[in-house]
Amino acid sequence: MERTETLAPSGTAHVHAGVRREALHGVATMLPLVLGYVPFALLIGVAAGGSPDPGAAWAGSLLIFGGSAHLSVIEMVGHGSGLAAAVGSGLLINARLAVYSAAMLPLWRGAPLRQRLLAAAAVIDPMWLVSSQREARPGTTEDRRAFYAGAAATLAVGWSTTMGVGVLLGAQHESTGSLGVFTPLCLAAIVAPHLRNPAGARCVAAAGAVAAVSSSWPSGTGLLAAMAAGATAGTWSPRQVAS
């Protein structure tokens, strides 16, 4: 082994060092994003802690691994919506993951099946963001996959742990009341940037109006209607009418 290192710096040891460096780079890149998601993870954790089955709700942190869909499932089940409505809205929200996954295909083309199955479990907005940033920099496919692994592990551990803290907070009813105000604030942080482009503004306006009107509708159908309205208004173009 020592001889290989001495005579062939580009051998196994060198490759392993490069992979380790890339994995650590993935960790370092993901850490600030994980910190950015702390309020949202805490919020979902608090919602999970206050739900009828906190253990099941927390398990979604890794099983669903998507904040918006997870929060939607907790809220809809917690408020007595039907199972079909909760599952339907959760899957509809997460349908965008197919787009991210398809976009990451060049990174995983030709990878062993086990690697692709593991990598798929971590596909989510911030993973797509950091891996597309890494794609723009030089390096081998192995480097990029190691980077992805480091970033994915950091996100999974940080997300799940923070949500666990939120579950503990949510179980204490005194603190839940004061944290309740952070729900709209976290969601405002997610929604507001979309107002900067016309399609996003149309989507938010339509979804908000439908959500307000349909708040008394049964079994979470209001959420589905708001999603449909947002999707329709966002993809609708005024030019289509003009032409």
Total residues interacting with other proteins, rule: CB under 8 A:
94
Q: Which of 23, 46, 57, 152 binds other proteins (CB under 8 A)?
A: 57
Q: Does 203 bind other proteins (CB under 8 A)?
A: yes
CB of 168 to other proteins, least distance (A): 18
CB of 200 to other proteins, least distance (A): 7
Q: Which of 18, 21, 24, 116 binds other proteins (CB under 8 A)?
A: 116
Q: Does 104 bind other proteins (CB under 8 A)?
A: yes
Q: Which of 23, 27, 77, 163 binds other proteins (CB under 8 A)?
A: 77
- Closer to other proteins by Cβ: residue 128 or 139: 128
Residue 46 to residue 41: CA distance in whole angstroms:
9
CB of 89 to other proteins, least distance (A): 7
CB of 41 to other proteins, least distance (A): 10
